[in-house]
Structure 1
Amino acid sequence: MKLRFSNASVWKYVITSISKIIEEGVFRVDQSGLRLRAFDATNTAFIDLHIPREAFVEFNVEKEEKFGVNFEDFAKISKLAAKGDELLLELVEGGRLGVTFQGHGTRTFILPNIEVSPPEEVSEISLEFPVKARIQPALFDDIMKELDVVGDVLTLESQPDSSILALTASSDIAEARIELSLEDGSLLEYTVNSEAKASYGLEYLYEMSRVAPVAEGLVLEYGSNLPLKLLFELPQGGRIVFYVSPRVE
């Protein structure tokens, strides 16, 4: 297996975000591309990463391969990527993962093959969400940083007769309310089919927003008593989807 990706910086942000949510995981590579699907330890969050084969400038895969990684270690190495670097992933002797950055010289790191219990097959998540919004990833990142200072729970609220998506957080110290709308351009698209209100752990959303600097788009979907879905669109047709279970007060 040999995979070459033109922009190592994308991986740096994606792997860093994942490492804050799960400790270990199994990548699967087949003719469709590379995929990671995993729950966090508490089954509160679910990650679905897919990088299609078309996104790679080199995609040499003869058969399906699976390899486990420790994401804390992978993140440490990914952070060494410099602007303009290409990323080369390949399986080397012993099933270990070779991670090579090419651009500012050639730097190769070898990660051990982590024996991770085979993940249970998770069927595709298919939910009907009453609320769907498209937001600039950078704006969402800024909002998560601001609200994280105030509290540890994010509440979303939408009304079908309003163009405003309200985001609130509170604590014993302060309260914050942020309103996004189509009129002021903070929402690029917004559809509300029914009233919705739900709360989610900000600690998860803060870590997920780390993908924002390299994302080309963000679609947010939610509903009352439903998970929050965040779909970050990555360069070359990749995407990473996060699901977060609602908080029960």
Structure 2
Amino acid sequence: YNMRVVECKLAAMILAISLGGEKSRVLSDIKILKDVEPAIAERFGGGTEKGAEAVKAHLHEGRYTLEEIEGILGTSLQKLFEGNAMSLKVLEAGREDGGFLLQNRALHVFEEAQRVRQFKAICDTSSSCAEGSDDKLRALGSFMDDSHASCSNLFECSCPELNQLVEAAKSSGALGARLTGAGWGGCCVFLVQESHAEPFMSALKDTYYAPRMKAGLLQVDLDNMGHVLFASKPSAGAAVLQVPDLLGSAP
């Protein structure tokens, strides 16, 4: 997790400089990839939706060595992250790995942000999932599949077990599947028609959990998995409620 934080910050700084940013201002002002969106908009005529194009144009494939990064930034990385013990450890790990995959990390961030926007746009096209639901759900599922592939291949925050769980979910009838969890995955979320939820969970037990139980890789009670595998419905999520509006009167 901390490796990706450092990589994304470095990618943002190099991208900003490549887009014409003055080095001293970049070093002081650019913290995350979103900070580069104004420069991307000025050069490419768009923000998040043009992020991937900007990344491919200005960040090279493969690893950036620490020496290469320092040459671009015009400062030592030890000085840049001075006082941040965790980031300094990340730099040492990056040196041992041969450098940082900055293009991959930045591509994931911008493309994932665009997927979220597209996902929301589909959800906003009607007030009911029943209206044209099959095509819409397949489209939403495709975004989830692409998201997981990006998490696995570009951001590298998945693991073999999660990838296998996603594959098992798809073979069991999920319209879409991706890893989820606070910071670094650990769980999966699946998109399934409500009418298919119970058959889906039963199939997933057979295709993923039971074989791993038999092989001694998992210890779960297949007849009591409510804390491991369960169905939930989408909700509106967190929101700010205006109390005067609810009461129908001024405060």
Task: Provide the TM-score with structure 1 as the length reference.
Answer: 0.25
Q: Which has the higher helix share?
A: 2
Question: Which structure has the larger Rg over C-alpha atoms?
Answer: 2
TM-score (norm 2): 0.25
Question: Larger relative contact order (C-alpha < 8 A, sep ≥ 6)?
Answer: 1
